[in-house]
Structure 1
Amino acid sequence: MLVLVTGGTGFVGAHTIAAATAAGHGIRVLARDAAAVERALVPLGVPSDPVEVLIGDVTDPVVVARAVRGVDAVVHAASVYSFDSRRHRETRRTNVRGTELVLDAARRFDVARTVHVSTFGAMLPAAGGVVGPDTPPGTAREPYLASKAAAETVARRHQAQGAPVAITYPPALLGPYDPKVGDQNGRLRNTLRGLMPVWPTGGFPIGDVRDTARLHAELLTAAPTGLDRHFGPGGYLTTRDYVRAVRAATGRDLPTLFLPARPMLPFAYLTGLVQHVWPWHIPAEYGACYVCACDAHPADGATAHGSRPFADTLTDTLRWMHRTGLLTERQVGRAADPGHVGALTAEHAGAAPRA
């Protein structure tokens, strides 16, 4: 099977390529930079033979049509995942327009299976804090969440019209080999660098990128069932439990002040305004605070099975950050045990051992 993957130079996309190639599929990647494809895939041990690179932007209809033509399946993972207020325009253009073009092209060329990568945040806020397959797209005004809700509406419209579209809802994702050190891995890194001494209360679902990538590979050949909407493997954690897990993994005290999430929202909103003129990234982001304030979790039975323990995900992520110089030995604490770091190099999405 030849599979087009958009967003293949990103965290989810790269790991999905690794899982799909491990399952024997050929890959076509739509990317703006061929060198970025190599940087993303080489650490995952993906051989170059099954990967074809097409240069272009997911918001260009001509390029998208050329990328989709002739493939058997599509994984649409291209997305700007950022709560950084400086990226609002780019976020809307990529997340909404890109989804419209890719899913339209997949139907036009009779692609047998399309997997649209959404997020649980696309349905926030949710009644009662519970998100399930039939929860409607959210009404959040935060730009990233609003863009994903709009893209979700596009994907569901295709589903309603009978297109073979599966939608996945990854939780917040950690894991090794993040080509761009995205939102969640960046937040973990900032926590250990002492840049996040204050956290909002509440919580969010979280999982391992390798488990979500495995789900995507499985959906490529799976027969559609029910609503064909799938929550990625993972579990719900409060912010207190998250920080407690980081303390346990590192052996560090990490003094942290927890404040009620909703009263923090006005302050977080103001930091977003300041971010427009402040040249350095401010970790206190409105969108992240809003997600914690929603305190949502997947409905019972909605989450895919097969997630590895969060402690294992944390340890693997910290060892990768230490090995690549993103964190010092002091910052990762006991997770830097050299007796275990070497084992990480043999892991990649689709072949990572289960704990």
Structure 2
Amino acid sequence: MAAKPGLVYLVTGGCGFLGQHVFRMLLEKEDNVAEVRLFDLAVDDSLANLSTEKITVKLIQGDITDLTTVLKVTEGVDVVIHSASLVDVWHKVPESKIQAVNVQGTCHVIQACQDHGIQYLIYTSSMEVVGPNVNGEPFYSSC
């Protein structure tokens, strides 16, 4: 059996607000898609019903803060669209959790792309991801 033509996309945070919009755009606008993997901590099972004859949709529940999981979910991927993030507008989530998801999770995605030779990583973000700059100090981090 011959492999399907087209690219394999991974959308981190694929069941979230931005991730779902990116996913639907891929289904509607992109011609060269064989598979879209939606990777999220909480999956929306209704999205699996959007598979077509040409495009396979896979829902993968997992935690971006777990490097082993990120490495596994990126196997065989051609393009990663990284939209997973933790936004806390009410200041109820510990800063360590926000750091783990938004910074360390992004580092895991970058490492997985490097380890698997994935040449295309699209990073999406906004200021809300890193939170308000309360103390006036710039936000820096490195992997």
By the TM > 0.5 criterion, same fold?
Answer: yes
1:47 is aligned to 50
Which aligned pairs between 1:139-288 and structure 2 lie closer than 5 A?
A: 140-141=133-134, 149-150=139-140, 154=142
Alignment gaps of 5+ in structure 2:
1-6
Partner of 2:38: 29
Distance in 2 separating the partners of 1:29 and 1:118: 17
Q: Which has the higher helix share?
A: 1
Contact 2:15 2:39 in 1 (8 A): no
In structure 2, the residue matched to 1:97 is 104
Q: Deviations over 1:121-178 (max 9, x none)?
A: 27x9xxxxxxxxxxxxxx9247xxx7xx44xx54xx8xxxxxxxxxxxxxxxxxxxxx
The aligned counterpart of 2:20 is 14
Q: What does the per-residue CA deviation read over 1:234-258, in whole Å, with 9 as the maximum and x for residues that have no partner?
A: xxxxxxxxxxxxxxxxxxxxxxxxx
- Write the letter of the residue equivalent to 2:69: V
Structure 1 residue ranges (4+ consecutive) displaced by more than 4 angstroms after TM superposition: none
Distance 1:18 1:38 in 2: 15
The one of 118, 123, 126 aligned to 1:116 = 123
Per the alignment, in what secondary structure is the counterpart of residue 94 of structure 2?
Answer: helix
**Does 1 or 2 have the higher relative contact order (CA < 8 Å, sep 6+)?**
2
Residue 106, structure 1, aligned to residue 104, structure 2: no
Query: TM-score normalised to the size of structure 1?
Result: 0.33
Cα distance in 2 for partners of 1:71, 1:59 equals 19
Instruction: Name the count of aligned residue pairs.
Output: 127
Correspondence 1:68 to 2:77: no
> Quick one: distance in 2 between partners of 1:55 and 1:38?
10
Cα distance in 1 for residues equivalent to 2:86 and 2:121:
19
* Aligned-partner residue type, residue 140 of structure 1: N
Work out the CA distance in 2 between the residues paired with 1:10 and 1:106: 21
Larger of the two Rg values belongs to structure: 1
Letter in structure 2 aligned against 1:88: P
Contact 1:8 1:37 in 2 (8 A): no
Aligned-residue offset at 1:94? 0.8
For structure 1, the 5+ residue unaligned runs are: 125-138, 158-355
Please give the alpha-carbon distance, in whole angstroms, between the structure 2 residues aligned to 1:141 and 1:106: 33
3-state SS of the aligned residue for 2:93?
A: helix
The residue type paired with residue 29 of structure 1 is L
- Superposed CA RMSD: 2.7
The normalised TM-score by structure 2 is 0.75
